[in-house]
Structure 1
Amino acid sequence: MMRYVLPFIFFASPLLASEDISDQYPASALYSKPIEVIPHIWSAIGATAPPTYENTGHNNNLSFIVTGDGVIVVNGGAAYVLAQALHQEIKAITDQPVKLVINENGQGHAMLGNSYWSELGVPILAHVDAAHEIAERGPFILENMKRYNRDKSEGTFIAAPTITFEDKYSIEMGSYTIEVLHLGPAHGPGDIQVWLPEQSLVIAGDMAFHQRMLPIFEDTIVYDWIETWETGFEALNATYVIPGHGTPTNMDQVRRYTRDYLVYLREKIGEHLDNGGDLAEAYYVDQSPYRHLDTFEELATRNAGRVYEQMEFE
């Protein structure tokens, strides 16, 4: 198997995703210009901040694979204008048409840009649980996006996936073998990973975080996420990881700030419960080893409270 030196490790720090920089690519609606992670596999790295008008909601990674017989896009983006901007970048790189869009889950930044791709007739692939999430919560997610994106939300509508799967969806396109995997419950309903075994690269989606603190949602079962990591994601043994948020990296980094963080937080909350602690105090368990992560201030106390609620009756 051919191995590549990661080109992004030579980038100067201003090209890193950041919570402090509102927009790294003023010429585009995208937060940053796409980078070639390894040959023919690109990603436009989003801000590690919450979605804002300034970053147009581009706070996740919009990736694409130039296969030689067409382009596969991973994530529709948080708005029509973001998908359109990504397409402009793709057309500047290759004249191969976009043949498939994959939604990493049912969240807004994964699927609201489906509206643009659907107008072009591009098939859209998602896990069945993500498709259900889009059907059930899509209008609510769209209205939330409109509140912060205002005029930048123009043209965005809910476009459902046209192809769904349950466990695995295999693609042979050009010179690439691509496996779209649902390894089990993780961050949210319908989380998937795009695995390129010959390149040893995984587009991990929200399975994996490393530069920003991961959020634990009401429907995020932390115990299940850890189990899915240990029994499925870790077994990929990927050399290259494009996470859902933040710059491309490796398994050691995402393990440290995803699996290990979840284990750490459960241990802290477990100690708190053993000492008779209540929910009000649980919000303030020690998470200082992760204080340097972007979005720590927004998410740390909320994460602790949700883990307490899950563990209280285990």
Structure 2
Amino acid sequence: MMRLTCCLAALTAALPALSLASEDIADQYPGSPLYSKPVEVIPYVWSAIGATAPPTYENTGHNNNLSFIVTGDGVVVVNGGAAYILAKALHDEIRQVTDQPVKLVIDENGQGHAMLGNSYWAEQGVPILAHEDAAHEFEEYGAQILAGMERYNRDKSEGTYLQGPTQTFSDSYTVDFGDFPIEVRYLGPAHSPGDISVWLPEQSLVIAGDMAFHERMLPIFEDTITADWLETWDSAFEPLGATYVIPGHGHPTNMDQVRRYTKGYLEYLRGQIRAHIDAGGDLAEAYYVDQSPYANLDTFEELATKNAGRVYEQMEWE
């Protein structure tokens, strides 16, 4: 208990500094394909924090968080990684932490940085779990996702092939080994099809996946229904009452931060678009509604106008 308290206190003290992520920060772990070396967020829960920039050759596509939990009876990995090379690099780091075998990989959604590294884990004979909607997404778009990774990663894409999950679930999945409960939950529609969160109730920690953002601007895809995301947040994510949050992108933080930059941003942008529509504004003008309160977020320049246009297209018919 003393170790847990000290570790959590250190994380809390670091939170103001952790909010200073930037796309301009150079690779933090030059000796590894990983963008940064895994850190122990709380006892037994580790995460290799990815870049808050788009995927590039320089960051090897490691622009999301690759986490793992040392359960006492094996290791649970959260996210397969964006390429074979990243999954192998993460496994090398796990072996430095523990001699417990990896017993399960959980993909947080059907995107490339969650699933393309499955090719490595399948070779190790490790079961791979994902939500059924994420599995369908990867099956439908996997070839396109792989081709995109091969373009930016070039030689670093070697060994990567399409490998979907070996197990799927619809609502929840409980890990049945280890010293403490681990619950894999589909909370409802959010950022992309099949988004899941990994909840550790005894530690009050959630590996939120793309349910929650705070250092980089969240992207709104064509199939991201923002009204549904907000409903899922209020009905299922917020009630977890998590003390600590490992988001899909960016450093570990707390609910106040992700609430401000995820729920707060979605509500703000929808409010701006609603006012624009009510004033008779069209799509061409909607791209430029004021989003300046969130201009400090990484990827703002890449995503703000796209997000506004997609929310307009949704809300025009609400």
Specify if TM > 0.5.
yes
Q: Alpha-carbon deviations, 1:87-134, whole Å to 9, x = none?
A: 000000100000000000000000000000000100000000000011
- After TM superposition, give the deviation of residue 11 of structure 1 in Å: 8.5
SS of equivalent to 2:87: helix
Letter in 1 for 2:164: A
Alignment length (residue pairs): 314
Q: Alpha-carbon deviations, 1:14-61, whole Å to 9, x = none?
A: 997531123110000000000000001000000000000000000000
Contact 1:6–1:38, Cα closer than 8 Å, also in 2: no
Rounded Cα–Cα distance in structure 2 between residues aligned with 1:114 and 1:131: 12
Partner of 2:245: 241
Rounded Cα–Cα distance in structure 1 between residues aligned with 2:39 and 2:226: 32
Unaligned 5+ residue runs, structure 1?
none
- When normalised by structure 2's length, the TM-score is 0.96
Runs of 4+ in 1 over 4 A off after TM superposition: 1-4, 11-17
1:77 to 53, 77, 81: 81
Q: Alpha-carbon deviations, 1:149-190, whole Å to 9, x = none?
A: 000000000111011000000113221201100010000000
* Aligned-CA RMSD value: 1.6
2:161 to 157, 160, 165: 157
Contact 2:15–2:253, Cα closer than 8 Å, also in 1: no
Partner of 1:112: 116
Partner of 1:219: 223
Rounded Cα–Cα distance in structure 2 between residues aligned with 1:184 and 1:168: 11
Letter in 2 for 1:270: R
Letter in 1 for 2:85: V
Is 1:39–2:39 an aligned residue pair?
no
Partner of 1:209: 213
Letter in 1 for 2:152: Y
Is 1:303–2:307 an aligned residue pair?
yes
Letter in 1 for 2:8: V
Pairing of 1:165-244 with structure 2 (within 5 A): 165-244=169-248
SS of equivalent to 1:129: helix
Is 1:288–2:268 an aligned residue pair?
no
- When normalised by structure 1's length, the TM-score is 0.97
Is 1:259–2:274 an aligned residue pair?
no
Contact 2:19–2:251, Cα closer than 8 Å, also in 1: no
Contact 2:18–2:251, Cα closer than 8 Å, also in 1: no
Is 1:7–2:10 an aligned residue pair?
yes
Unaligned 5+ residue runs, structure 2?
none
1:62 to 40, 59, 66: 66
Contact 1:7–1:36, Cα closer than 8 Å, also in 2: no
Contact 1:16–1:247, Cα closer than 8 Å, also in 2: no
Rounded Cα–Cα distance in structure 2 between residues aligned with 1:220 and 1:278: 21
Is 1:135–2:129 an aligned residue pair?
no
SS of equivalent to 2:175: strand
Letter in 2 for 1:141: I
SS of equivalent to 2:54: coil
Letter in 2 for 1:126: A
Going from structure 1 to structure 2, the CA distance change for 1:50 and 1:83 (only over 3 Å counts) comes to same
Contact 1:72–1:98, Cα closer than 8 Å, also in 2: yes
Identity, % of aligned positions: 75
Partner of 2:104: 100
1:27 to 19, 22, 31: 31
Rounded Cα–Cα distance in structure 1 between residues aligned with 2:9 and 2:287: 39
